[in-house]
């Protein structure tokens, strides 16, 4: 009898053990998760990633868009390195775009959909993978994913950052957890550049490194360095053909969405810019003057690498976090899905003979930055990233399976309610834009023949099939990527969240 009880107990314990082993969660540590597979036959490169704020894709000297604008460092990168001519963001807003850069994910995945929300602690940044692979990492500048604090974030060994938007002059900086005020008319672009050069010059050891230099410039309210104030006072802006519809009979203003027409007289509209606080020509001038110090910063970094003999072992990226409208469709700023809002400058330089494609035509997005930098470190792309490495394209290859379209999303914000939720899909020829939460007209453009997006084809029966196909494609993408749920965030605090109508829009 006792023997039978013992046998029964043995089997019972065994069943419990089997059951518990089947339900035991994955015990892989975070350190194990961050260890990516190595790409065979690769040597890790140093990488410097320079990001600016609100720099639109065509405001660089070599493009000729602004005849008086001089950007010798950007021109050098484009001439001797690679100019990605068709670079786009997945969301044209500071925080969501920056989160997409660091995570390689769309906004509906990383859930940073406005400038107030903090990113979840569970989300991984690509510099964490670099650290796990033996890289020394540093961050200098504007983090801007949430406005709550400037404390050090994961993935970086050295931290030098400002809270939220920060200030152009006399900034408050968090230096590795300690706050420090810089006075005596300290200019933020110069300060960040000096810190980057100091860190690069004082590094010790043989570890490869990753430096993320994130400028505040050229975000509004534009404030150029004192040495650049007034240098473009005589520079005249070029008014786009969609800025004044009454002067352009070729602009199909009848089929422009009502929300766009109304926004002309709002905070982000040309007829009431910042509620009348500034005029357009001055706005244009200050933007270009503020950009000059960013170009100087790039030049100083390139000079350091060349003088120290590191340029052949280092890749330098320059990029904007989103585009910026200057009168197109009567708008300023970003958020909308028009070309000037979603397109960005993207230049790549250095690395000895690595770069063989001087002008890249393929469509690249900000979600591709992480995978590309990881590939330059000899690391495979993590499975949770939506982006892809465009390193093969830089090397002169033409991947047959590279994307033929890009997707865009923007989610309505309470602080700036004039722009609705936007989803869009863009190919080399067409762009379809769909709005959510308003009863208004959607948009379809033949951007190959109508780059200014002057003629909305959505009502044209000849393009009904094109519109239908792109709409179906957009919703298929949203469905396949779990993007059908609109991310909602709790209200913050402050004047922006409880609106009292005062006769302005």
Q: What is the pLDDT of residues 324-350, one digit of tens each?
A: 999 999 999 999 999 999 999 999 999
90 within domain boundaries: yes
107 within domain boundaries: yes
Q: Which residue in 197, 213, 205 sits closest to 127, CA to CA?
A: 213
- Tokens 């994961």: give the residue: 154
189 within domain boundaries: yes
The average pLDDT across 137-148 equals: 86
Compute the chain's Rg from CA coordinates.
Answer: 25
The average pLDDT across 247-254 equals: 96
The average pLDDT across 166-190 equals: 93
Distance CA 255, CA 466 (A): 17
Q: Give the pLDDT score at 22.
A: 45
pTM: 0.91
Q: Which residue in 348, 356, 352 sits closest to 311, CA to CA?
A: 352
Domain that holds residue 209: 39-242+278-404
**pLDDT surpasses 70 at 503:** no
Distance CA 296, CA 195 (A): 14
Q: What is the pLDDT of residues 473-496, one digit of tens each?
A: 999 999 999 999 888 777 665 555
Q: What is the pLDDT of residues 87-101, one digit of tens each?
A: 999 999 999 999 999
Q: Give the pLDDT score at 493.
A: 58
Q: What is the pLDDT of residues 413-465, one digit of tens each?
A: 888 889 999 999 999 999 999 999 999 999 999 999 999 999 999 999 999 99
Q: What is the pLDDT of residues 367-376, one digit of tens each?
A: 999 999 999 9
Q: Give the pLDDT score at 496.
A: 56
Percent of the chain exceeding pLDDT 70 equals 91
Local confidence band at 19 (pLDDT 50, 70, 90 cut-offs): very low
209 within domain boundaries: yes
Q: Give the pLDDT score at 498.
A: 61
Task: Please state the φ and ψ torsions of residue 161, each to the nearest 5 degrees.
Answer: -140, 160
Q: Give the pLDDT score at 252.
A: 97
Cβ 218 vs Cβ 53: under 8 Å: yes
The average pLDDT across 162-171 equals: 91
Distance CA 475, CA 420 (A): 18
**pLDDT surpasses 50 at 5:** no
456 within domain boundaries: no
Give me the residues paired with residue 317 across strands: 49, 348
The average pLDDT across 16-27 equals: 45
First to last CA, the chain: 87
Distance CA 501, CA 505 (A): 8
**pLDDT surpasses 90 at 12:** no
Local confidence band at 4 (pLDDT 50, 70, 90 cut-offs): very low
Q: Give the pLDDT score at 180.
A: 93
Q: What is the pLDDT of residues 107-124, one digit of tens each?
A: 999 999 988 877 888 899
Local confidence band at 6 (pLDDT 50, 70, 90 cut-offs): very low
Count of structural domains, the chain: 1
Q: Give the pLDDT score at 365.
A: 98
468 within domain boundaries: no
Cβ 187 vs Cβ 171: under 8 Å: no
* Domain of residue 135, CATH code: 3.40.720.10
144 within domain boundaries: yes
**Poorest-pLDDT segment among 15-24, 273-282, 330-339, 462-471:** 15-24
Distances, alpha carbon 5 to alpha carbons 8, 14, 224, in Å: 5, 14, 86
Q: Give the pLDDT score at 66.
A: 97
Q: Give the pLDDT score at 499.
A: 60
Q: Say how many CA atoms lie within 13 Å of 426 toward its Cβ.
A: 27
**pLDDT surpasses 80 at 390:** yes
500 within domain boundaries: no
């Amino acid at each position: 009898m006792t023997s039978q009880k013992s046998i029964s107990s043995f089997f019972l314990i065994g069943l419990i053990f089997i059951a518990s082993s089947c339900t035991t969660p994955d015990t892989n540590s975070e350190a194990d998760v961050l260890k990516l597979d190595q790409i065979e036959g690769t040597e890790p490169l140093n990488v410097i990633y320079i990001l600016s704020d609100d720099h639109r894709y065509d405001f660089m000297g070599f493009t000729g868009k602004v005849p008086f604008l001089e950007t010798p460092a950007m021109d050098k990168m484009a001439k001797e390195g690679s100019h990605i001519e068709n670079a786009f963001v997945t969301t044209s807003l500071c925080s969501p775009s920056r989160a997409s850069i660091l995570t390689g994910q769309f906004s509906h995945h990383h859930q940073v959909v406005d400038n107030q929300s903090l990113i979840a602690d569970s989300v991984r940044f690509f510099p964490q993978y670099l650290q796990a692979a033996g890289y020394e990492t540093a961050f200098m500048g504007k983090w801007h994913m949430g406005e709550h604090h400037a404390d050090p974030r994961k993935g970086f060994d050295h931290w030098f950052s400002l809270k939220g938007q920060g200030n152009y002059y006399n900034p408050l900086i968090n230096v590795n957890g300690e706050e420090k005020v810089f006075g005596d008319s300290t200019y933020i672009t110069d300060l960040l550049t000096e810190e980057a050069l100091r860190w690069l010059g004082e590094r010790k050891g043989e570890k490869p490194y990753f430096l993320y230099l994130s400028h505040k410039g050229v975000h509004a309210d534009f404030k150029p360095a004192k040495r650049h104030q007034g240098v473009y006072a005589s520079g005249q802006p070029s008014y786009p053909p969609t800025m004044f519809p009454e002067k352009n009979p070729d602009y199909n203003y009848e089929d422009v969405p009502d929300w766009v027409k109304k926004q002309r007289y709002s905070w982000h509209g040309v007829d009431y810019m910042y509620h009348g606080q500034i005029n357009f020509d001055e706005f244009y001038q200050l933007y270009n003057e503020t950009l000059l110090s960013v170009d100087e910063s790039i030049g100083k970094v390139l000079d350091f690498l060349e003088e120290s003999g590191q340029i052949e072992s280092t890749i330098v990226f320059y990029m904007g976090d989103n585009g910026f409208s200057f009168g197109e469709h009567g708008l300023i700023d970003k958020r909308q899905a028009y070309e000037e809002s979603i397109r960005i400058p993207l230049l790549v330089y250095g690395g000895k003979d690595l770069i063989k494609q001087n002008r890249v035509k393929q469509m690249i997005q900000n979600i591709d930055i992480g995978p590309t930098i990881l590939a330059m470190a000899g690391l495979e792309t993590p499975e949770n990233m939506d982006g892809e490495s465009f390193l093969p394209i830089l090397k002169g290859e033409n991947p047959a399976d590279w994307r033929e379209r890009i997707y865009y999303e923007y989610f309505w914000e309470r602080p700036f309610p004039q722009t609705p939720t936007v989803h869009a899909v863009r190919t080399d020829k067409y762009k379809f834009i769909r709005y959510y939460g308003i009863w208004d007209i959607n948009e379809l453009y033949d951007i190959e023949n109508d780059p200014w997006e002057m003629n909305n084809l959505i009502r044209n029966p000849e393009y009904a099939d094109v519109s239908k196909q792109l709409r179906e494609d957009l919703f298929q993408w949203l469905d396949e990527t779990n993007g059908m749920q609109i991310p909602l965030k709790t209200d913050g605090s402050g004047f922006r969240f409880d609106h009292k109508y005062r006769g302005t829009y």
